[in-house]
Amino acid sequence: MTQTPAPTGPAVIQNYLRNLDSSPGVYRMLDAQGAVLYVGKARDLKARVSSYARPTGHSGRIARMIRETASMMFLTTRTETEALLLEQNLIKQLKPRYNVLLRDDKSFPNILVAKSHPFPQIKKHRGAKSEKGDYYGPFASAGAVNRTLNQLQRVFLLRNCSDSTFDSRTRPCLLFQIKRCSAPCTGRISEADYLGLVSDAERFLQGKTTAIQAQLAKDMAAAAEAMEYERAAALRDRIKALTAVQSVQAINPKGVAEADAIALHMESGQACVQVFFIRGHQSWGNRDFYPRLGGAERADEVMQAFLLQFYDGKPPPRLVLLSDAPEDPELTAEVLTERAGRKIELAVPQRGEKSELVANALRNARESLARRMSESATQLRLLEGLAEAFDLPSPPRRIEVYDNSHIQGAAAVGGMIVAGPEGWMKNQYRKFNIKGTEITPGDDFGMMREVLTRRFTRLLKEDPDRNTEAWPDLLLIDGGAGQVSAVEGILADLGVEDIPIIGVAKGVDRDHGKEEFHRPGARPMALRMNDPVLYFIQRLRDEAHRWAIGTHRARRTKQALANPLDEVPGVGAARKRALLAHFGSAKAVSRAGVADLQQVDGISATMAQSIYDHFHA
């Protein structure tokens, strides 16, 4: 008996109107399989939903969404602000197809002046701000932070070593020799003088460089007058370093102390948002973002969605300069203000220095999108060529490439890389530590079986109906007919038999460029030497190899540095140091008797017995 498909479209939406009132709230539109198509907020739920019940007058994107809608869900709130916050939480969680989505939500690095030690350390920090100290940022990238830290070391001679390294040093390190540190670890500078350097560095990060330079010049003149020529020379070197730093700074707006300049450029259904970070009258770098659009959105819709998602978990500055006003500027500013706990101003400047900052960001957004569209066009041609060469039903939108890495079975890992129309999808890369105890060391077939079983078992559990984009359209395997046959069997055992598989094997001479390609039920084939598709497949395979090798090396290094004492219950950092200081090595600890273990400070009779039992069980 054939099941009647669930009704969809305006008539379905119309049925919900009789039970809705004019409260603010959030609505969800779902398709026939229950997947969320769209999440929206409304000041008046009944009025907003009634607009979707009309059969005409919609953009192409909205019309498609309405046609696919089979059911709706509603949640009322007390205020429109609450509705907007709830909408953003649901969008982030559910990632609906027709919403604007910010795909890169990685946190931004900061500079931390850690003040849990008498001699503060300066270092890069990412994540929750739980450590005691002062934070400066955000910076656009780790590279921008590293450049600034390098400049701070040259000018202010602050330490970047850990507290444990600081406490264990008996003579200055190389950084002191090359004039990048004042060596507080060995008493080469007093605590008061070092804190003065820290204060100067913080003023620099706040943009007060002119005052610092004037004070350094004054101190240098005083030192020269007192015939302290060595100190005067050191101050001269710091002034020169500070001048060099100022000369290489990018855009340094005099009238804007702290702001984010955000510009949006849209073209051919794609968007690029460029963000410049201005802190302390200095440019701390920029980042570009490419929100996923549902199609035919207005600039104000995209800008509002971007702001609310971008500043979810990131504190906005007091001033945000925009190329386009958001759809609801007052409400957006109110939400950001509530999140930040201080007033946030959104501005679309028309003239002056602020306008120039936005114009610069807009130019970068336009150029970045043009480059991305050009790269996407090339990538799409390659995917079309791949589909044609291997008789695929359509150009693949998600290619998964698998490779293994090990040394005679040791530290074995499997790697998966992902590519699609927009190039490498690095946030989708995965590593698999091989756990199977029954796998013979060096058994590539056994490792591949474990990797694919884990990968597709999870896919079948999380998305059995294939409603998301997590399912691959093509599997690329590093290997020949044997590997392809094995992979086919593994997937068949899991009930997955409709994903094309291509094995890439070296040719008879094992030369790069003479690869043979194997597919289930087909004869081996090759591509001509200068075929762009051949180069494309080589890049895919080489990237998978690079990823697997890097993951294997990281695991091998971790195993090499592992200390057997780390696995002993009740032995923390202090006891481990005491045991190593007493016995000299972890191996000597493992051979020690209970009585010998009790001789170590902090090791009771019970703990000595526990350590002994751990190594002699």
**pLDDT per position as a tens digit, 67-114:** 999 999 999 998 888 889 889 889 888 889 888 888 765 678 888 999
Lowest mean pLDDT of 121-125, 152-156, 226-230, 439-443, name the range: 439-443
Residue 253: pLDDT band (50, 70, 90) is: confident
* Polymer length of the chain: 617
Average pLDDT over residues 231-237: 72
Classify the C-alpha dihedral 50-54-59-60 as positive or negative.
positive
Q: What is the mean pLDDT of residues 592-597?
A: 88
> What mean pLDDT is predicted for residues 163-188?
88
Long-range contacts of 133-136 (CB under 8 A, 24+ apart): 134/202, 135/110, 135/111, 136/110, 136/111, 136/112, 136/202, 136/205, 136/206, 136/279, 136/280
Tens-digit pLDDT profile for residues 22-79 = 999 999 999 988 889 999 999 999 999 999 998 888 888 888 899 999 999 999 998 8
Is the predicted pLDDT of residue 248 greater than 50, yes or no? no
Quote the pLDDT of residue 5: 64
Tell me: pLDDT of 219 over 70.
yes
Q: How confident is the model at residue 1 (pLDDT cuts 50, 70, 90)?
A: very low
Window from 265-269, 343-347, 407-411 with minimum mean pLDDT? 407-411
Residue 73: closest CA among 12, 6, 22 = 12
Checking if the pLDDT of 366 tops 50, the result is yes
* Residue 260 bridge partners (DSSP): 277, 320
**pLDDT computed for residue 203 by the predictor:** 80
Dihedrals phi, psi of 430, to nearest 5 degrees: -135, 150
Q: What is the mean pLDDT of residues 244-271?
A: 75
Q: What is the pLDDT of residue 429?
A: 93
Residue 313 pLDDT level (bands cut at 50, 70, 90): confident
Domains along the sequence of the chain with CATH: 10-94 (3.40.1440.10), 258-371 (3.30.420.10), 399-559 (3.30.420.340), 564-616 (1.10.150.20)
Higher pLDDT, 59 or 512: 59
7 has pLDDT over 60: yes
What are phi and psi for residue 136, nearest 5 degrees?
Answer: -130, 125
Reported pTM:
0.67
Q: Round the average pLDDT of the chain to a whole number and report it.
A: 85
* CA nearest neighbour of 402 among 544, 244, 229, 216: 544
| Tens of pLDDT, residues 461-494 | 888 888 778 899 999 998 888 889 989 998 998 8
Whole-angstrom Cα distance, residue 195 to residue 122?
A: 12
Q: What are the tens digits of pLDDT across the range 425-453?
A: 888 999 888 876 666 666 778 888 888 99
Higher pLDDT, 457 or 240: 457
Residue 20 has pLDDT above 80, yes or no: yes
Number of Cβ within a 10 Å radius of residue 270: 16
The predicted structure's pLDDT at residue 509: 54
Lookup: tokens for 144: 């921008």
At residue 232 the predicted structure's pLDDT band, cuts being 50, 70 and 90, is confident
Listed in order, strand segments (DSSP E) in 408-484 are 410-420, 423-424, 430-433, 474-478
Q: Model confidence over 112-146: pLDDT tens digits?
A: 999 889 999 999 988 888 889 988 878 877 877 88
- What pLDDT shows up at residue 250? 44
